[in-house]
Amino acid sequence: MPQILTATQTAALRALIDAAEWTDGTVTSGTQARMVKNNLQLPEDSEAAKTGGQMVMAALQANPLFISAALPHRLYPPMFNSYAGGQAFGNHVDNALRVRAGTDWRVRADLSMTIFLEDPDAYDGGELVIETDFGPQQVKLPAGHGVLYPSSSLHRVEPVTRGRRVASFFWIQSMVRDATVRTNLFRMDQAIQSLASQNGIDDPAIVALTGVYHNLLRHNADA
């Protein structure tokens, strides 16, 4: 997803989190992930993480592509990690449920998201590798751009051998649990938007298709 954060927003976010104190990233991992994880994170309860997370959330709420693709019901507050000096995160699958420490507040992790906060020419390595039915997909995007992928995917972060990789990451509970239904709703919405840009939003066929989309969403969504 291109330009979730503008260059100005990214710079402001980096100034905030770069000035904060980072800690060992394994504190938020499950047992399996902890064995293959080597990075730094901002503590979830730090002021920098809270403020930075609010900045990311505001950008996501204003992003139609994210809303269409994720159909978000609940988001785990965005977190921040850093890799440098050979640090990496080996193959793992994200926990199905993410629970905020000390509370009963939880999110079912249907989708995972990474928003890159460092331009790719500033560091070597650090690719997010997602295993799919079509083979491994390597993702390394410009600062402010992000990738949304199933939390059930096996994925890893390759070692960073030069520079520093900084990113925001979090999990989304979608209103539509079924991934196939969610994908088809996304494709329908994108097709409707494309047709509307060509024929006008008041075209009777587009109005009818929009009604079908919302009826399908109404039938499948938990909100």
131 plus 211 within the same structural domain: no
Structure tokens at 155: 């994925």
Per-residue confidence (pLDDT) for residue 101, from 0 to 100: 80
Task: Name the DSSP class of 14.
Answer: H
pTM of structure: 0.93
**What is the percent of the chain with per-residue pLDDT over 70, rounded to a whole number?**
96
Residues 118 and 196 placed together within one structural domain of the fold: no
Judged against a pLDDT cut of 90, whether residue 30 lies above it is answered with no
In a domain, 2, yes or no: no
Range of the domain at 206: 179-220
Same-domain status, 21 and 121? yes
- pLDDT, one tens digit per residue, over 45-88 is 999 999 999 999 999 999 999 999 999 999 999 999 999 999 99
The C-alpha angle with vertex 13 and arms to 8 and 19, in degrees rounded to 5, equals 130
Q: Is 1 inside a domain boundary?
A: no
- Asked if residue 26 has pLDDT above 90, the reply is no
- pLDDT at position 223: 82
β-pairing, 23-24 vs 40-41, is antiparallel
Mean local confidence (pLDDT), 187-202 = 95
Q: Is the pLDDT of residue 23 over 80?
A: yes
| Same domain assignment for residues 30 and 133 | yes
Domain count, the chain: 2
Q: In this structure, are 162 and 184 located in the same domain?
A: no
Give the least confident one: 14-18, 37-41, 103-107, 143-147.
Answer: 103-107
Task: Please indicate, yes or no, whether residues 166 and 197 belong to a single structural domain of this protein.
Answer: no
CATH number at residue 147: 2.60.120.620
- pLDDT, residue 100, reads 85
User: Which residues, other chains included, contact 97 with Cβ-Cβ below 8 Å and sequence gap of 6+?
Assistant: 106, 107, 108, 109
With cut-offs at 50, 70 and 90, classify the pLDDT of residue 28: low
CA distance 223 to 217: 11
pLDDT of residue 31 exceeding 80, the answer is no
Same domain, 128 and 211: no
